[in-house]
Amino acid sequence: MVPAPSSTTRTVALDINGEKHHLSVDHRTTLLDALRERLGLTGTKKGCDQGQCGACTVLVDRRRAVSCLHLAVAAEGREITTIEGIADGEDLHPVQQAFLDLDGYQCGYCTPGQVCSAIAVIEEHAAGWPSAATADVRPESVPPPLTPEEIRERMSGNLCRCGAYVSIVQAVAQGARAHEEARTATAEEAAA
């Protein structure tokens, strides 16, 4: 007698934007499809569905991930942040504000993924992670300045079909300055 095949579905608990969601999903369901189709979080966009364009970028444990290649079952127990969870109530995240201030979007389709990626880029840079554009990658070297070349290299996984790259680079730079100012202010408050 041949044993019956095991179920291809499982109930997962996903922590998305600070809220727990319990979903019964097929093991092959991507995080992108779970977000958009099951939870109605349509800010995360479906572009190429092959991990090439970055439109579906979200933060998983504060690191960027293309959700079209990330299985929902693999996201269980991880902290997932989508564009809907970036702002603090009515107060936009500094990167979101920079995209608005500097017109870092045109049609806006790629903007949620660009913003999520930019937030991770700024944190990666602040932590001293090198990129392919970083000249000195020795551990004892200081992080390089976040130049337009560094930003373009670090954001290269996010495509903008409208070509708003100049404004996107400026928005990431402005967001990085705001991030650094906030870190400095927090350090000064802690020292006082």
Query: For residue 175, which amino acid is it?
Result: G
Lowest-pLDDT range of 7-21, 91-105, 109-123, 139-153: 139-153
pTM to 2 decimal places: 0.92
Q: How confident is the model at residue 3 (pLDDT cuts 50, 70, 90)?
A: low
Cβ(67)–Cβ(37) under 8 Å? no
**What residues form DSSP beta bridges with 15?**
20, 79
Q: What is residue 191's predicted lDDT score, i.e. its pLDDT?
A: 86
d(CA 178, CA 92): 12
| Segment 179-191 mean pLDDT | 87
Q: What is residue 5's predicted lDDT score, i.e. its pLDDT?
A: 58
Q: What is residue 136's predicted lDDT score, i.e. its pLDDT?
A: 85
Is the per-residue pLDDT at 85 higher than 80? yes
Q: Which two tokens stand for residue 146?
A: 């976040």
Is the per-residue pLDDT at 84 higher than 90? yes
| Segment 75-89 mean pLDDT | 97
**Parallel, antiparallel, or unpaired for β 57-60 and 9-16?**
unpaired
Is the per-residue pLDDT at 1 higher than 70? no
